[in-house]
Structure 1
Amino acid sequence: MAINLDEIVAIDVHTHVHKSVRGDQHRTAGAEDMGEYFGIGKMPEYSLPELAEYYRERKMAAVAFGVDSVSQTGEEPVPTNEEVAELAAEHSDVIIPFGSIDPARGAAGVRAARRLVTEYGVKGFKFHPNTQAFFPNDRMAYPLYEVIAEHNLVALFHTGQTGVGAGQRAGGGIRLKYSNPMHVDDVAVDFPDMKIILAHPSFPWQDEALSVATHKPQVYIDLSGWSPKYFPPQLVQYANSLLKNKVLFGSDFPVITPERWMKDFDGIAIKDEVRPKILKENAVKLFGLDGSGA
């Protein structure tokens, strides 16, 4: 079932699935620290069907994914990419599935990515340079980008500081240097037709993210992971003007709920004619949901 664009009020391009429906598998590592960082206590965990129902009740659609950081954690992602994609197909009225492949998987990861696209129908891939410990312009990752570009899909990169490891001894071993959006600028040059999303207000590199998105036609910015009331002034300025067609609603659910995000979004100085673009219209065009092609 396709997403009914007339029925939904928004498309959240950044949500996380942390729990499997297969047994009692779930990812708890870092949940307490992440919850403390975002001021919500222990972070709640949702399976894909639970996430779908949550968004269906709110008349929203959502991009959903896990994160594969096996090279750093030694653990396979929970749920698997295949589970996310299979269940998303059952909830295709509200869910757009993304995969996540740790670039360190090498050729095996590239084969897995191609299979996720051709057999499971994922619409893009999430990269988290901090937890995967790689620079986005590392040639190690380029074979993955080639798969994404070949199929005209979307690559979404975490940028800026992360709540993962925040406040822990040595930041939990997480190195922030990997998530400067300027490293994605190289990727945008080398893959000029691959659509890219820079996730989050990119603290402390907000200006760099705005520069890349303004300069490179295929680069977008999502507004996830922050309450809008904390958005830096230059982000609001660009969202209202030069980037009004390339800024996307994202919550980072479940650490921030769409209700909280939208309540705070109502309170910032976004032009009336720009609001529907950010909440839905820009994502519709990016993903080709209007029939224009993904």
Structure 2
Amino acid sequence: MIVDCHVNVYEDSQMLPLHTTSTAHARPGELSPRSDPDTVYAAMKDVDKAIIFSLRYKDSVGIDGDDEVTARAVAKYPDKLVGFACVDPRMPNYMDLLVHAIEDLKLKGVKFGPIYNGVSLLDPRLVPLYEYLQRNNLPLTMHMGTTYGRVAPIEYGRPLDVDAIATRYPDLKMIMAHMAHPWYEECIVVARKQPNVYCEVSALFYRPWQFYNILIAAQEYLITHRNKIFWGTDFPFSQVQESIDGLRGINKQVEGTNLPRVAQATMDYILHSNPFEHWWHGGYPG
């Protein structure tokens, strides 16, 4: 089984001019920004399931999404897609929107980007979110790590704040996206320490030297076989096959050296990781 745990969905009309100008520095190689429900479904043809969410990042990277587009995608392709809500804690009614997304639209978790919304994980505005998610057995995926967005405060992308929140809310399942690059060592030690914290490798393969070091560090800290690291693409910023190939071929760059290798078992474990078994207490409620 292959599950893509990190897929973005939004309509073409929800892409603002800022998105076009800022993504030129997002990654090496070509980037096709379209990510409407039909495009997402076609891109996910080689995975068994995909966790999708929209983004409320209009002032940082120019995507002004909403939960309705996520719900429409899930309703159209229910056998493939599972939807998470998006939150922007700066909005006075963000908790009302979240309750609507979960209780009316039947979304199954939450995506939040502290760096993109300019709101620290330690901000008191997030307390109702944490309490609601913990009470309702809903996971929280967080963008951790840096970004190309000029107005996004980089300090909010560092993962050490996750440690504090995980301690305060021990029943809240939290997932650090992108291994918190470039602060992957902080990500790894927090995930190792906290039983309710996980991480994932989306949008990392196209920086192969960094990705190699991330996986080696994860092996050395003994988290690669503890249901701690999950696989994803960050579509449309990465495609499925290139993400698989990037993981499978990670050792090519150290051939002919005495550098350590990413174990085949590590690659297999990550690629076939199953968030539906671990991100909800008692497993995915369906």
For normalisation by structure 1, the TM-score amounts to: 0.83
Structure-2 separation of matches of 1:159 and 1:124? 17
Aligned twin of 1:4: none
2:213 equivalent among 233, 236, 254: 233
Aligned twin of 1:65: 53
Task: Give how far 1:291 is off.
Answer: 5.8
Task: Give how far 1:92 is off.
Answer: 1.6
Structure-2 separation of matches of 1:213 and 1:202? 11
2:231 is aligned with 1:242: no
Aligned twin of 2:40: 51
Task: Give how far 1:95 is off.
Answer: 0.9
Identity across matched positions, percent:
24
Aligned ranges 1:256-267 → 2 under 5 Å: 256-267=238-249
Per the alignment, do residues 115 and 134 of structure 1 end up closer, same or farther by CA in structure 2, a change over 3 Å counting? same
Structure-2 separation of matches of 1:280 and 1:119? 31
1:283 equivalent among 270, 275, 279: 275
Whether the 8 Å contact between 1:149 and 1:193 is mirrored in structure 2 is yes
Higher mean C-alpha deviation, range 59-68 or range 152-161: 59-68
Aligned amino acid, residue 38 of structure 1: R
Per the alignment, do residues 187 and 289 of structure 1 end up closer, same or farther by CA in structure 2, a change over 3 Å counting? closer
Structure-2 separation of matches of 1:30 and 1:127? 18
CA deviations 1:43-79 (Å, max 9, x no partner) are 4212022201221x21432111111246x46x8833x
Structure-2 separation of matches of 1:282 and 1:259? 18
Structure-1 separation of matches of 2:84 and 2:194? 23
Aligned twin of 1:180: 158
Unpaired runs of at least 5, structure 2: 251-260
Whether the 8 Å contact between 1:10 and 1:61 is mirrored in structure 2 is yes
Aligned twin of 1:210: 188
Partner secondary structure for residue 173 of structure 1? coil
Structure-2 separation of matches of 1:265 and 1:11? 15
Aligned amino acid, residue 249 of structure 1: W
Higher mean C-alpha deviation, range 284-293 or range 91-100: 284-293
Aligned twin of 1:90: 76
Aligned ranges 1:1-294 → 2 under 5 Å: 9-19=1-11, 24-41=13-30, 43-55=32-44, 57-69=45-57, 72=59, 77-78=64-65, 80-106=66-92, 108-163=93-148, 165=149, 172-227=150-205, 229-230=208-209, 231-239=211-219, 241-244=222-225, 245-268=227-250, 269-287=261-279, 293=285
Structure-1 separation of matches of 2:262 and 2:276? 19
Aligned amino acid, residue 77 of structure 2: H
Structure-1 separation of matches of 2:63 and 2:147? 21
Unpaired runs of at least 5, structure 1: 1-8, 166-171
Structure-2 separation of matches of 1:274 and 1:76? 34
Structure-1 separation of matches of 2:265 and 2:181? 27
Structure-2 separation of matches of 1:289 and 1:35? 40
Count of equivalent residues: 272
Aligned twin of 2:254: none
Cα RMSD of the aligned pairs, angstroms, is 2.6
Partner secondary structure for residue 142 of structure 2? strand
Whether the 8 Å contact between 1:19 and 1:27 is mirrored in structure 2 is no
CA deviations 1:119-147 (Å, max 9, x no partner) are 11111111111110011111111111222
Per the alignment, do residues 238 and 76 of structure 1 end up closer, same or farther by CA in structure 2, a change over 3 Å counting? closer
Partner secondary structure for residue 12 of structure 1? strand
For normalisation by structure 2, the TM-score amounts to: 0.85
CA deviations 1:5-59 (Å, max 9, x no partner) are xxxx411111111325xxx55444223431443134454212022201221x214
Whether the 8 Å contact between 1:210 and 1:235 is mirrored in structure 2 is no
Whether the 8 Å contact between 1:35 and 1:43 is mirrored in structure 2 is no
Higher mean C-alpha deviation, range 250-259 or range 33-42: 33-42
Per the alignment, do residues 42 and 288 of structure 1 end up closer, same or farther by CA in structure 2, a change over 3 Å counting? closer
Structure-2 separation of matches of 1:276 and 1:90? 31
